[in-house]
Amino acid sequence: QVQLVQSGAEVREPGASVKVSCKASGYSFTTYAIHWVRQAPGQRLEWMGRINTANGNTKYSRKFQGRVTITRDTSASTAYMELSSLRSEDTALFFCARVLHRHCSGDSCYSGFDFWGQGTLLAVSS
Protein backbone atom coordinates (compact mmCIF):
# COMPACT_ATOMS: atom_id res chain seq x y z
CA GLN A 1 0.00 0.00 0.00
CA VAL A 2 1.03 3.58 -0.56
CA GLN A 3 2.96 5.11 2.32
CA LEU A 4 4.88 8.29 2.94
CA VAL A 5 6.89 7.85 6.11
CA GLN A 6 8.58 10.88 7.58
CA SER A 7 11.51 11.14 9.97
CA GLY A 8 10.94 11.73 13.65
CA ALA A 9 10.46 14.80 15.78
CA GLU A 10 13.30 17.32 16.01
CA VAL A 11 14.39 19.98 18.47
CA ARG A 12 16.66 22.78 17.31
CA GLU A 13 18.03 26.02 18.64
CA PRO A 14 17.35 29.29 16.83
CA GLY A 15 19.71 29.77 13.89
CA ALA A 16 20.19 26.06 13.31
CA SER A 17 19.00 23.94 10.39
CA VAL A 18 16.87 20.83 10.16
CA LYS A 19 16.49 18.22 7.44
CA VAL A 20 13.31 16.14 7.32
CA SER A 21 12.97 13.03 5.18
CA CYS A 22 9.92 11.53 3.49
CA LYS A 23 10.31 7.92 2.32
CA ALA A 24 7.81 6.71 -0.25
CA SER A 25 6.72 3.14 -0.80
CA GLY A 26 3.97 1.27 -2.58
CA TYR A 27 4.13 3.25 -5.83
CA SER A 28 6.56 4.47 -8.48
CA PHE A 29 8.37 7.35 -6.76
CA THR A 30 9.12 9.36 -9.88
CA THR A 31 5.52 9.50 -11.09
CA TYR A 32 4.47 11.83 -8.27
CA ALA A 33 5.77 15.20 -7.17
CA ILE A 34 6.42 15.69 -3.48
CA HIS A 35 5.22 18.86 -1.82
CA TRP A 36 5.95 20.11 1.69
CA VAL A 37 3.33 21.78 3.86
CA ARG A 38 3.75 23.42 7.24
CA GLN A 39 1.16 23.68 10.01
CA ALA A 40 2.13 25.98 12.85
CA PRO A 41 0.09 25.85 16.07
CA GLY A 42 -3.26 27.51 15.53
CA GLN A 43 -2.37 28.44 11.95
CA ARG A 44 -3.63 27.27 8.61
CA LEU A 45 -1.77 24.82 6.40
CA GLU A 46 1.00 26.59 4.50
CA TRP A 47 2.61 25.38 1.27
CA MET A 48 6.41 25.55 1.34
CA GLY A 49 7.59 24.07 -1.92
CA ARG A 50 7.67 21.08 -4.20
CA ILE A 51 10.03 18.87 -6.14
CA ASN A 52 9.50 17.12 -9.43
CA THR A 53 10.86 13.74 -8.43
CA ALA A 54 11.52 12.76 -12.05
CA ASN A 55 13.88 15.62 -12.94
CA GLY A 56 14.64 17.28 -9.60
CA ASN A 57 13.10 20.61 -10.56
CA THR A 58 12.02 22.58 -7.51
CA LYS A 59 9.76 25.50 -6.75
CA TYR A 60 9.51 27.31 -3.42
CA SER A 61 7.15 29.68 -1.70
CA ARG A 62 8.53 33.22 -1.65
CA LYS A 63 7.98 33.16 2.10
CA PHE A 64 10.58 30.43 2.53
CA GLN A 65 12.81 31.27 -0.45
CA GLY A 66 16.44 31.23 0.59
CA ARG A 67 15.77 29.17 3.72
CA VAL A 68 14.24 25.99 2.31
CA THR A 69 15.84 23.38 0.08
CA ILE A 70 13.96 20.35 -1.22
CA THR A 71 15.89 17.44 -2.70
CA ARG A 72 15.26 13.83 -3.57
CA ASP A 73 17.14 10.55 -3.82
CA THR A 74 15.40 8.43 -6.41
CA SER A 75 17.42 5.34 -5.49
CA ALA A 76 16.00 5.58 -1.97
CA SER A 77 12.52 6.81 -3.01
CA THR A 78 13.00 9.58 -0.51
CA ALA A 79 12.46 13.32 -0.58
CA TYR A 80 14.06 15.76 1.84
CA MET A 81 13.20 19.20 3.10
CA GLU A 82 15.89 21.29 4.75
CA LEU A 83 14.98 24.50 6.55
CA SER A 84 17.76 26.79 7.73
CA SER A 85 18.11 29.88 9.93
CA LEU A 86 15.42 28.51 12.19
CA ARG A 87 13.44 30.80 14.44
CA SER A 88 10.83 30.16 17.10
CA GLU A 89 8.04 30.83 14.58
CA ASP A 90 9.19 27.74 12.67
CA THR A 91 7.91 25.52 15.49
CA ALA A 92 5.35 23.49 13.58
CA LEU A 93 4.27 20.19 12.13
CA PHE A 94 5.75 19.56 8.68
CA PHE A 95 4.06 17.26 6.16
CA CYS A 96 5.12 15.82 2.84
CA ALA A 97 2.37 15.04 0.37
CA ARG A 98 2.24 13.71 -3.19
CA VAL A 99 0.46 14.72 -6.36
CA LEU A 100 0.57 12.94 -9.69
CA HIS A 101 2.94 14.62 -12.16
CA ARG A 102 0.63 14.11 -15.13
CA HIS A 103 -2.19 15.86 -13.29
CA CYS A 104 -0.10 19.03 -13.19
CA SER A 105 0.68 21.52 -15.92
CA GLY A 106 2.94 24.45 -15.12
CA ASP A 107 1.90 25.74 -11.71
CA SER A 108 -1.57 24.14 -11.74
CA CYS A 109 -2.56 20.70 -10.54
CA TYR A 110 -5.90 19.17 -11.41
CA SER A 111 -5.84 16.79 -8.48
CA GLY A 112 -4.98 17.35 -4.84
CA PHE A 113 -2.61 15.75 -2.38
CA ASP A 114 -3.92 12.20 -2.22
CA PHE A 115 -1.43 10.82 0.29
CA TRP A 116 0.37 12.58 3.09
CA GLY A 117 3.17 11.68 5.44
CA GLN A 118 2.35 11.38 9.12
CA GLY A 119 3.98 14.72 9.91
CA THR A 120 7.24 15.69 11.62
CA LEU A 121 7.11 17.95 14.64
CA LEU A 122 9.83 20.59 14.85
CA ALA A 123 10.39 22.58 18.02
CA VAL A 124 12.68 25.59 17.84
CA SER A 125 13.74 26.80 21.24
CA SER A 126 16.80 28.02 23.04
Q: Which residues bind another protein (CB under 8 A)?
A: 35, 44-47, 50, 59, 61-63, 95, 97, 99, 107-114, 116-119
Nearest distance, CB of residue 5 and another protein, angstroms: 12
CA angle 101, 103, 109 (to 5 degrees): 100
Rounded to whole angstroms, the Cα distance separating 20 from 83 reads 9
Least distance (Å) between residue 116 CB and another protein:
4
Spatial separation of the C-alpha atoms in residues 92 and 22, rounded to whole Å: 16
Whether the CB-CB separation of 56 and 40 falls below 8 Å is answered with no
Q: Which amino acid makes up residue 97?
A: A
Residue 54 beta carbon to another protein: minimum distance, rounded to whole angstroms: 18
Give 27 or 47: the residue with its C-beta nearer to another protein.
Answer: 47
In the complex, the smallest distance separating the C-beta of residue 72 from another protein, rounded to whole angstroms, is 18
Give the angle 89-93-98 at the CA atoms, nearest 5°: 125
CB 117 within 8 A of CB 62: no
Q: Which is nearer to another protein, 13 or 62 (CB)?
A: 62
Q: Of 8 and 13, which has the nearer Cβ to another protein?
A: 8
- Considering the complex, state which of residue 13 and residue 42 has its C-beta at the smaller distance from another protein: 42
